[in-house]
Structure 1
Amino acid sequence: MTAPLDAPESAQQADPEAIARGARNVASRSLTQIAWQRLRRDKIAMIAGLIVLLLILAAVFAPLLVKWFGYPPTEFNQAPIDPATGGVYKDPDNPFAGIDKTGGISWDHLLGLEPKTGRDLFSRILYGAQISLLVAFLSTILCVFIGTVLGIIAGYVGGWVDTVISRAMDIFLAFPLLLFAIALVGVIPDSAFGLTGNGLRVGLIVFIIGFFNWPYVGRIVRGQTLTLKEREFVEAARSLGASNRHILFRELLPNLLTPILVYATLLIPTNILFEAALSFLGVGISPPTPTWGRMLSEALPYYTTSPHFVIIPGVAIFITVLAFNLFGDGLRDAFDPRSSD
């Protein structure tokens, strides 16, 4: 049986105005809005981003959190410590009660105490986060700055300039960075370049990581620049008489911000691990300033009597690196133009 001739038109086809409104809504979304919608659908990346945000806030407000929930990170407390094994007593008033495998975790010491010294682990973890994130962020900024400038120049100018910069990338990538860092940080004097103590060491580590890791960013930027400089908007700018500087930093650079941002989030955990490795080897930040790598190194002799001392800084490094990696992967997928909406 056929449909009646006087059937309403909406029953036979979609409303043209509704289709037009939907098309306008889709067309009005910017690339940033599309990427944000994709990122919101990635629950793992959102959880990782929340963890990253909490880590940053904990590091920034470490003095306030320690004042409320902990003790100064360099304050020694020998009363609950067994002088023979360095472990923490279950009951400080009764040494015969034995060693507490949890390391004295309580409301007063949320993550327990360090063996042998009795320092509060909660406050040392927070202050260690300050050092790790500070070094990671500053070195990443330096690395991205150098890599972006040299990469965009190499890709746009080409010729002998591209050859020189590309060969410099190959040399830096083949450089034994860890050995160089150990040698340089180990022989640096107590004061230089107007800096002293750990301020000098932080600056030196940031310089080593940023200056010698820029080729990783430079290669990505160079490859993207080689593709973008052949696009129509660059030809249009050139035909209008735009200078090379204008094309580089007003036309090409804004289109490179997305891959640079994504790679920077993936570079931060690598820099955190590098700083932790230097501290673990004893050539990073000088004690008593707490760092996760040095805490892990100092914990190794006590893994049988105080396993929490090994587990806590190790878990802090693991969670931080994993969160940054997952968030970086989510950003990469969100900004990928080949991803489906």
Structure 2
Amino acid sequence: MTAPLDVPDPAHPSGPAGADPAAPAPAAARTRSLSRIAWGRLRRDKVAMAGGAVVVLVIAVAVFAPLIVRFVGTPPNQFNSDLIDPVLGTANTPWGGISAEHPFGVEPVNGRDLFSRVVYGARISILIGFLATLVSVVIGTVMGIVAGYFGGWVDAVISRLMDIFLAFPLLLFAMALAGVIPDAAFGLQGNSLRVAILVFVIGFFNWPYIGRIIRGQTLGLREREFVEAARSLGVSNAYILFRELLPNLVAPILVYSTLLIPVNILFEAALSFLGVGINPPTAAWGQMLSSAVQFYSVAPNFMLAPGLAIFVTVLAFNLFGDGLRDAFDPRTH
């Protein structure tokens, strides 16, 4: 006996008898959003996911630094003179003082715990990296979307402004600014003022990088049908910029923000290494590297600890950013 055929129901011509036209479509037939597609691609990229896991770990270490140091290591500014050889000025135990209490060893001369200083240094680097990136993204997005949408003399002025900022000797300016700013200004003092200066210098002068990217994306989007439809309805330019164009720029903004954070972290470390960053004794990775230069031959762990922290953090952000860029770019699949 042959199997019965599915005879179409006259009341439901689109399917077999008993089919409910109001029933939801199968999961495979449902339209997936760009974010779902990108997340699926990102999950398949094991290298990017590993980088993202390290990024989350570094952020968690920075946020919970006091709690971590309470269980491992000693306070970052506590001197442990009993662990230092009074003649040589280095740790009086092998491997630079590495032990269960001091996983990364101790600093020469004063015996401060390297683990706790690296953990607390993550707070400075992550804070400045994120805040400076936020400043760059806000300014760069606004300038880029305005230049790309309006074009003409507006685009010319903003583009030349980008060229000026890109040609600006940022490192020399940061060193000069840090030298002339007093210990208290603008209602801030000490390291709070230093953090504000670093965020301003790094963030305000780095916006052209993302501004150029947003401008290029906007030049293509402004010719799309949805923008023409919005214009035909008589809506304002501000509405088109921030309600029509900006939502379509979220993906590139997110991707290049992730790639800009490690650049800002490296720049902060460079400024701290040159002595124009965070004031001691507050821990900062670049400052620790600067202090370790004269001890690299007798206490290599003093240089390796902050150096590896910078390397791993920057590498993790770059791997995650590259994976995020590939996930949002359909041409790579």
Deviation at 1:9, TM superposition (A): 8.6
Query: Are the counterparts in 2 of residues 49 and 323 from structure 1 also a CA contact under 8 Å?
Result: yes
Partner of 2:228: 235
Deviation string 1:164-184 (CA, Å, 9 cap, x unpaired) is 100000000000101111111
Please tell me the residue identity of whatever aligns with 2:80. Answer: N
Partner of 2:173: 180
Partner of 1:94: none
Structure 2 Cα separation of the partners of residues 88 and 162 of structure 1: 60
Deviation string 1:151-200 (CA, Å, 9 cap, x unpaired) is 10111111111111000000000001011111111221001111000000
Which one of 43, 49, 64 corresponds to residue 52 of structure 2? 49
Partner of 2:90: 87
Aligned-residue CA RMSD (Å): 1.9
2:293 paired with 1:305: no
Deviation string 1:212-248 (CA, Å, 9 cap, x unpaired) is 0100011001111110000000001111111101000
Structure 2 Cα separation of the partners of residues 80 and 291 of structure 1: 23
Secondary structure of the corresponding residue to residue 224 of structure 1:
helix
Please tell me the residue identity of whatever aligns with 1:136. Answer: G
Structure 2 Cα separation of the partners of residues 121 and 34 of structure 1: 43
Structure 1 Cα separation of the partners of residues 249 and 286 of structure 2: 34
Partner of 2:118: 125
Structure 2 Cα separation of the partners of residues 195 and 327 of structure 1: 35
Q: Normalized against structure 1, the TM-score is what?
A: 0.90
Mapping 1:73-222, distance limit 5 Å: 73-90=76-93, 100=94, 102-222=95-215
- Stretch moving more, 199-208 or 65-74: 65-74
Secondary structure of the corresponding residue to residue 83 of structure 2:
coil
Secondary structure of the corresponding residue to residue 28 of structure 1:
coil
Partner of 1:93: none
2:258 paired with 1:268: no
Structure 2 Cα separation of the partners of residues 171 and 260 of structure 1: 22
Structure 2 Cα separation of the partners of residues 243 and 27 of structure 1: 34
Query: Are the counterparts in 2 of residues 135 and 272 from structure 1 also a CA contact under 8 Å?
Result: yes
Partner of 1:3: none
Go from structure 1 to structure 2 and tell me whether the alpha carbon gap of 1:222 and 1:23 turns closer, same or farther (over 3 Å shift): farther
Secondary structure of the corresponding residue to residue 79 of structure 1:
helix
Go from structure 1 to structure 2 and tell me whether the alpha carbon gap of 1:42 and 1:9 turns closer, same or farther (over 3 Å shift): farther
Partner of 2:278: 285
User: Could you list the runs of 5+ residues in structure 1 that have no partner in the other structure?
Assistant: 1-5, 11-15, 91-99
Share of identical aligned residues, percent?
Answer: 67
Please tell me the residue identity of whatever aligns with 2:166. Answer: L
Deviation at 1:24, TM superposition (A): 5.7
Secondary structure of the corresponding residue to residue 118 of structure 1:
coil
Go from structure 1 to structure 2 and tell me whether the alpha carbon gap of 1:8 and 1:174 turns closer, same or farther (over 3 Å shift): farther
Partner of 2:21: none
Structure 2 Cα separation of the partners of residues 316 and 26 of structure 1: 46
Deviation at 1:7, TM superposition (A): 8.8
- How many residues align? The count is 319
Please tell me the residue identity of whatever aligns with 2:128. Answer: V
Structure 2 Cα separation of the partners of residues 321 and 161 of structure 1: 36
Deviation at 1:26, TM superposition (A): 4.7
Runs of 4+ in 1 over 6 A off after TM superposition: 6-10
Mapping 1:325-340, distance limit 5 Å: 325-340=318-333
Query: Are the counterparts in 2 of residues 85 and 305 from structure 1 also a CA contact under 8 Å?
Result: no
Query: Are the counterparts in 2 of residues 45 and 330 from structure 1 also a CA contact under 8 Å?
Result: yes
Structure 2 Cα separation of the partners of residues 172 and 296 of structure 1: 29
Please tell me the residue identity of whatever aligns with 1:182. Answer: M
Structure 2 Cα separation of the partners of residues 329 and 8 of structure 1: 54
Deviation string 1:32-60 (CA, Å, 9 cap, x unpaired) is 01000000000000000000000000000
Partner of 1:13: none
2:248 paired with 1:255: yes
